[in-house]
Amino acid sequence: MSAYYHTDVSEFRTGMRVELHPSHDAWMRGDRYATVTRVGNSVVFVRSDKSGRVRWFHPQSLAILEG
């Protein structure tokens, strides 16, 4: 099973490390890893490591990094 099959924002917590899905322009520009800053009703807000930008993504577009 792929790490990108998250369907609910309840799986995410503030401070959690995530990886963006490779289909996003941000991933192609080098913003591959991020930290969750806020969890909304249907989207997850993350701050990218490389650019420092805060973006929102649907849970299906994020992989939770373990450990």
pLDDT digits (tens, 9 = 90+) for 19-55: 999 999 999 999 999 999 999 999 999 999 999 999 9
Band of residue 66 on the pLDDT scale cut at 50, 70, 90? confident
* Residues near 35 by beta carbon (within 8 Å), at least 6 away in sequence: 15, 16, 17, 18, 46, 47, 49
The confidence score (pLDDT) of residue 1 equals 43
pLDDT tens-digit series, residues 39-49? 999 999 999 99
Instruction: Give domain limits for the chain.
Output: 9-64
- Stronger pLDDT, 7 or 58, i.e. the higher one: 58
CATH code of the domain occupying 9-64: 2.30.30
